Amino acid sequence: MKDSSMRGRGRPLNPVLTQRKIAGAAVSLIQSGGYRALTMAALARQLGVSASALYNHVGSKRDIMILVQDRVNQEIDCSAFDAQDWDVALERWARSYREVYARNIPLIPVMAVLPVANSPHTLAMYEKVAAGLTRAGWPRSWVVNTIVAVESLVFGSAYDAVAPDNIFDPGELSEAAPMFSAAVAHRDLSLDSRRRSPGPHGAGAETAASPADVAFDVGLRSLLAGFRVHLDALRAQEPGITSGGSDLE
């Protein structure tokens, strides 16, 4: 990726065009028109600059996506890893992560497969997660797979967060699927209030639980309970591992 210090000699510095502004404009384009709406020409138009001025800062669409990745991931709150037990921190991180990508659905197919190299804020986030898990006694070899498992649930759940509430309505075929139809009709839509922490933005950010919120809650709590089972099994084998203050079940 070209740095502003690398631009051609003698070209005037355009004070308007920063990597942050480029990333912001790219996010806007993708949010309104999907990933294909992001072209160098459209981005230059959105920024009110010439295409050549844009190429002065970024060499390709891939460079732009790395800027976008880093800008979007910066919104994910991973601060709980500084002070909380690993499972509380992992849960808060996952909730914030889903919330950010539910607002950025068209980015998911790209971000889910984009390498993290050259993304300083993204790496800072992963460093915080990795450090928190390692401090809590997680084997180093488990850390990346744990992160991937949480992210996979998060990306899938972000889609569900924007699905229509009637997505499982069997319609005219309900008689052909009686057990499923009964399960849909009796779906648990209550969110355990103890799990609804106000989150990083304070109580004001709390919204009513949707079916997708409840399903994500079930999935995330189950995943965390499973992680505890595996960590406990490991500790039983190797009692020297300390918990780092986590109160595991």
Residues 126-155 that bind a copy of itself (CB under 8 A): 126-127, 129-131, 134, 139-146, 148-155
Which tokens belong to 183?
Answer: 């399960």
From the list 114, 209, 234, 248, which residue makes contact with a copy of itself (rule: CB under 8 A)? 114
Binding residues for a copy of itself, rule CB under 8 A, total 81
By CB under 8 A, is residue 183 in contact with a copy of itself? yes
Q: Which is nearer to a copy of itself, 51 or 108 (CB)?
A: 108
- Nearest distance from C-beta of residue 48 to a copy of itself, angstroms: 27
Note the Cα 76 to chain centre separation in Å.
Answer: 7
Site stretch for a copy of itself (CB under 8 A), options 23-31, 84-92, 123-131, 240-248: 123-131
Q: What's the per-residue H, E or C state across the chain?
A: CCCHHHCCCCCCCCCCCCHHHHHHHHHHHHHHHCHHHCCHHHHHHHHCCCHHHHHCCCCCHHHHHHHHHHHHHCCCCCHHHHCCCHHHHHHHHHHHHHHHHHCCHHHHHHHCCCCCCCCHHHHHHHHHHHHHHHHCCCCHHHHHHHHHHHHHHHHHHHHHHCCCCCCCCCHHHHHHCHHHHHHHHCCCCCCCHHHCCCCCCCHHHCCCCCHHHHHHHHHHHHHHHHHHHHHHHHHHHCCCCCCCCCCCC
Contacts (CB under 8 A) with a copy of itself, residues 216-235: 216, 218-219, 221-227, 229-230
Q: Which is nearer to a copy of itself, 156 or 244 (CB)?
A: 156
Contacts (CB under 8 A) with a copy of itself, residues 10-69: 34, 36
- Nearest distance from C-beta of residue 207 to a copy of itself, angstroms: 18
From the list 48, 115, 198, 245, which residue makes contact with a copy of itself (rule: CB under 8 A)? 115
From the list 6, 117, 203, 208, which residue makes contact with a copy of itself (rule: CB under 8 A)? 117
Encoded one letter per residue, x for contact with a copy of itself by CB under 8 A and - for no contact, window 162-181 reads: xxx-xxxxxxxx--xxxxx-
Can you tell me the distance from the alpha carbon of 119 to that of 69, in angstroms, rounded to the nearest whole number? 7
- Nearest distance from C-beta of residue 199 to a copy of itself, angstroms: 20
- Nearest distance from C-beta of residue 14 to a copy of itself, angstroms: 26
Residue 98, C-beta contacts closer than 8 angstroms, at least 6 positions apart: 154, 157, 158, 161, 216
Q: Which is nearer to a copy of itself, 89 or 212 (CB)?
A: 212
By CB under 8 A, is residue 236 in contact with a copy of itself? no
Rg (CA), the chain: 22
- Nearest distance from C-beta of residue 124 to a copy of itself, angstroms: 7
Q: Which is nearer to a copy of itself, 17 or 111 (CB)?
A: 111
